[in-house]
């Protein structure tokens, strides 16, 4: 078994690798070659969450689990709030193959999913990127989005405005003008990414213009919510996995309110394999409900393991 620690991941897996690996796993899901096991998520008290996301990708030969969670006190200790590790197993024998640091991989695979959705669903001429959120994931989201569209500027809102300058620095690195705005001005955006841990909607239908693409990435647990249910029901909704979207994703609230049902939500993989057209008009609002699936974690961890083996990196404990 190879141990690939967190400190090695940045040198092994690029955003481009993550984009390709996540795209392949969405395709395998759409073809019925890969599936996720039910998510386990438990509250540990004090706002801490811990859980397991797992799955089997027969096409890629990947079986495994990501164990991890959210620890809101970590930032004060100089650690990021999300902590996770990915374990890969041989799908034929069940023997352990690798243990891989999952923190950077989570950020890369989450940003990749959002960028794949933008790539496939946003209008090609999109120029203004709107960001709702400015925590650890937000910078990764902004960088990945900038790889798939030629944005001219970034507008951003966050419930904690003091966090926005850090996101502004990422925009500056990319050469993009950055402006902190009230939510009403999200109407200027062609693409909006939401990436907060909010328990209640902040982005309302009135804040979004026709033709916008939204990648809603923050809601990955029952009880979280970033956007008004009317915004979800008024959009064409896509997701990584429908079962997660209606239970732990952004769509859970519109489903509970009886505004939409699971049958109206399209897996993004269906767009990737050409089974669904994706965006149908320039005025349609498209919304990607990115809940984060275990197969994404396995896909990027497998890249890290392959690269580490090629370069003789990591610690082989010989099991």
Q: Between residues 123 and 289, which has the closer beta carbon with respect to ligand NAD?
A: 289
**Torsion angle defined by CA atoms of residues 162, 166, 170 and 173, in that order, rounded to the nearest 10 degrees:** 110
Q: Where are the beta strands (DSSP E) in the chain?
A: 2-4, 34-36, 40-45, 48-57, 62-70, 82-89, 96-101, 128-132, 153-157, 178-180, 191-194, 213-216, 236-239, 266-267, 286-289, 315-316
Q: Which residue number places its CB atom closest to ligand NAD?
A: 135
Please report whether residue 139 would count as binding ligand NAD according to CB under 6 A.
Answer: no
- Least Å distance, CB 128 to ligand NAD, is 20
247 near ligand NAD, judged by CB under 6 A = no
Is 66 a catalytic site residue?
A: yes
Q: Provide, rounded to whole angstroms, the least separation between the CB of residue 94 and ligand NAD.
A: 27
Enumerate residues 107-126 that contact ligand NAD by CB under 6 A: 110
CA distance 225 to 219: 6
Both tokens of residue 44? 């540990």
Q: CB within 8 A of 77, min separation 6: which ones?
A: none
Distance CA 249, CA 292 (A): 9
Q: What are phi and psi of 93, to 5 degrees?
A: -115, -15
The reply to whether 168 sits near ligand NAD by the rule CB under 6 A is: no
Minimum distance of ligand NAD from residue 24's CB (angstroms): 17
Residue 97 or residue 235: which is nearer to ligand NAD going by CB?
235
Contact pattern from residue 53 through residue 82 relative to ligand NAD, giving x for each residue in contact according to CB under 6 A and a dash for the rest: -----------------x----------xx
Instruction: Tell me if 236 contacts ligand NAD by CB under 6 A.
Output: no
Stretch 284-303 residues interacting with ligand NAD (CB under 6 A): 290-292
- Answer yes or no whether residue 197 interacts with ligand NAD by CB under 6 A: yes
DSSP conformational letter for 32: T
Dihedral angle, C-alpha 221, 298, 78, 2, nearest 10 °: 150
Q: In the complex, what is the shortest distance from the CB of residue 223 to ligand NAD, in angstroms, rounded to a whole number? A: 11
Q: How far, in Å, CA of 65 to CA of 67, rounded?
A: 6
Distance CA 122, CA 300 (A): 24
Shortest distance, position 312 Cβ to ligand NAD, whole Å:
31
Q: What residues are annotated to the active site?
A: 66
User: In the complex, which residues of this chain contact ligand NAD (CB under 6 A)?
Assistant: 70, 81-82, 106, 110, 133-138, 158-160, 163, 195-199, 217-218, 220, 224, 290-292
């Amino acid at each position: 078994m190879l141990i690939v620690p967190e400190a090695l991941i940045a040198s092994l897996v690029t955003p481009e690798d993550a984009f390709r690996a996540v795209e392949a796993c969405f395709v395998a899901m759409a073809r019925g070659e890969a599936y996720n096991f039910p998510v386990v998520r438990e509250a540990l008290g004090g706002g801490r969450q811990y859980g397991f996301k797992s799955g089997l990708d027969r096409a890629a030969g990947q079986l495994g689990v990501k164990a991890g969670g959210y620890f809101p006190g970590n930032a004060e200790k100089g650690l990021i709030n999300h902590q996770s590790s990915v374990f890969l197993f041989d799908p034929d024998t069940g023997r352990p193959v690798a243990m891989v640091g999952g923190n950077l991989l989570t950020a890369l695979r989450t940003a990749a999913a959002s960028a794949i959705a933008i790539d496939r669903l946003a209008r090609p001429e999109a120029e203004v990127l709107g960001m709702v959120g400015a925590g650890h994931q937000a910078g990764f989201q902004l960088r990945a989005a900038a790889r798939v569209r030629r944005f001219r500027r970034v507008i951003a809102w966050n419930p904690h405005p003091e966090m926005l300058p850090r996101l502004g620095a990422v925009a500056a690195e990319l050469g993009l003008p950055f402006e902190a705005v009230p939510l009403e001005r999200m109407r200027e955006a062609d693409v909006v990414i939401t990436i907060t841990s909010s328990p209640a909607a902040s982005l309302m239908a009135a804040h979004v213009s026709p033709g916008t693409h939204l990648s809603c990435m923050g809601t990955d647990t029952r009880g979280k919510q970033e956007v008004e249910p009317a915004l979800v029901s008024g959009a064409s909704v896509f997701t990584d996995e429908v079962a997660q979207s209606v239970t732990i994703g952004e769509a859970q609230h519109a489903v509970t309110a009886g505004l939409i049902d699971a049958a109206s939500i399209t897996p993004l993989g269906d767009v990737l394999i050409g089974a669904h057209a994706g965006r149908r008009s320039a005025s349609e609002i498209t919304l990607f409900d990115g809940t984060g699936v275990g197969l994404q974690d396995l896909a990027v961890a497998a890249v890290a393991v392959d690269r580490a083996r090629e370069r003789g990196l990591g610690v082989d404990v010989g099991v």
